[in-house]
Structure 1
Amino acid sequence: MAIDTRTEPPATDPTQGPWLLLIYRVPNESSGARVAVWRQLKRLGGFYVQQAVCVLPDRGELREKLSRIRERIDELGGSSVFLTLADVEEDARVQFVEGLRGQSAKEYAEIVEECETKFFKEIEFERYRDNYTFEEAEEIRQDLEKLKRWLHKVEARDWMSADGKELARQKVAECERMLEEFEADVYERTDGEAG
């Protein structure tokens, strides 16, 4: 089951391919295994053309990760076929590009929503409650760090330059500014005693 893991320079236009295609099957009696494989492929940014048929842009690091996923599929008693597609018809290419873009755009929108409906509201609520404590500021800081890690992961797998990246970055930066203001207020109200 050797996969060619050479690293080739990416094409000047990633929307033109080449593409990595993984077709796999995991035994039906193991829904947990199917979900685990699906989750791993989604973390890579894989776009499902149909059930158990996943496409990714051809990148050396993705080839290596697909090799490990295929090993896991084998361990689960499943099977897989891996193909490199250099010449695909235009309809398929458009489907791949738009599918990958759509996935990333959706994730950017979810980050924006998380900022607006949870993070902003959390700080507003703590201000309303007059809850200016170091512990609360620290808890909110952890939420900000999660948002930053999430944004970084989405950007890392956004090979097709999806819409929404700049807005997501702006909202995360706004979260950081709001938290810094809240932390400054906590500091002032506690005379700088952190804890």
Structure 2
Amino acid sequence: MDSAFSTDCEYAVRRPSEAPPDNLSGMATRRTKAKSTAELSDAASASWLLLIYKVPSDSSRARVAVWRELKRLGGFYVQQAVCVLPDREELRAGMEKVREKVAELGGSSVFLTLTDVDDDARDQFVEGFQSQSAKEYAEIVEECETKFAKEIEFERFRENYTFEEAEEIRQDLEKLRRWLAKVEGRDWMGAEGKDLARAKVADCERLLEEFEADVYERTEGKI
């Protein structure tokens, strides 16, 4: 094993007494809450998948490509080039594909299954995943409120009651639904915000149905 890999792995998982990486420092002050959440969450993993990788330092394209694939899986970065996921069959297969991508890009990786993780690290993992999913739910809510609803409001303002416009907005609704489904699919730790995101997407559907009804009344309904 590459010495840099072994050092990173030990730092990320086995040294809770040392200062945590930058992106975990804010979590340290909330460990009591995280521990309570971890104990109550049936979704918390008994074991974890850890990927440590290197890609050519002169290739930002390679770094972004790997990062994108891991984030698509729902991976949580405990530090740079060190990513963790719950131990699930489909995620294990996804990690293997990422390793193939790393190799194609001229890099190298180490893939570990962690079965003996102390409470401190486990709490950090759980809270990290919850924070990621909560942010994604919040983004969906924002999209519903600031884009989707405003779009319908604008089309009403300019009286653009056409089937083509209604169809375009419905495509936007389908995108929101697919987005929500993806976020829910990788919300393994029961993050806050899911119910609100679902409610906002349902509101979008109601707004669109009302708009479509008005489009019908102004076009087909007059025939």
TM-score normalised by the chain length of structure 2: 0.79
8 Å Cα contact 1:58-1:84 kept in structure 2 = yes
Gaps of 5+ in 2: 1-40
Structure 1 residue 45 and structure 2 residue 86: aligned? Answer: no
User: Percent of counterpart pairs with the same letter?
Assistant: 77
Runs of 4+ with deviation above 2 angstroms: none
Matched with 1:58 is 87
Deviations 1:3-45 (A, max 9, x none): xxxxxxxxx8332431100000100121111101000000000
Matched with 1:6 is none
Matched with 1:183 is 212
Gaps of 5+ in 1: 1-11
Within the candidate set 56, 62, 66, 1:27 is matched to 56
Higher helix content, 1 or 2: 2
What secondary structure, in the 3-state scheme, does the structure 2 residue paired with 1:139 have?
helix
Q: How far, CA to CA, are the matches of 2:46 and 2:67 in structure 1?
A: 23
What value does the CA root-mean-square deviation take over the aligned residues? 1.2
8 Å Cα contact 2:45-2:87 kept in structure 1 = no
Within the candidate set 147, 159, 169, 2:198 is matched to 169
Structure 1 residue 117 and structure 2 residue 146: aligned? Answer: yes
Q: How far, CA to CA, are the matches of 2:143 and 2:45 in structure 1?
A: 33
TM-score normalised by the chain length of structure 1: 0.91
Q: How far, CA to CA, are the matches of 1:19 and 1:124 in structure 2?
A: 46
What secondary structure, in the 3-state scheme, does the structure 2 residue paired with 1:48 have?
strand
Amino acid at match of 1:48: Y
Q: How far, CA to CA, are the matches of 1:134 and 1:26 in structure 2?
A: 49
What secondary structure, in the 3-state scheme, does the structure 1 residue paired with 2:220 have?
coil
What secondary structure, in the 3-state scheme, does the structure 1 residue paired with 2:197 have?
helix
Aligned length: 182
Matched with 2:180 is 151
What secondary structure, in the 3-state scheme, does the structure 2 residue paired with 1:81 have?
strand
Deviations 1:29-86 (A, max 9, x none): 2111110100000000000000000000000000111111101101111010111111
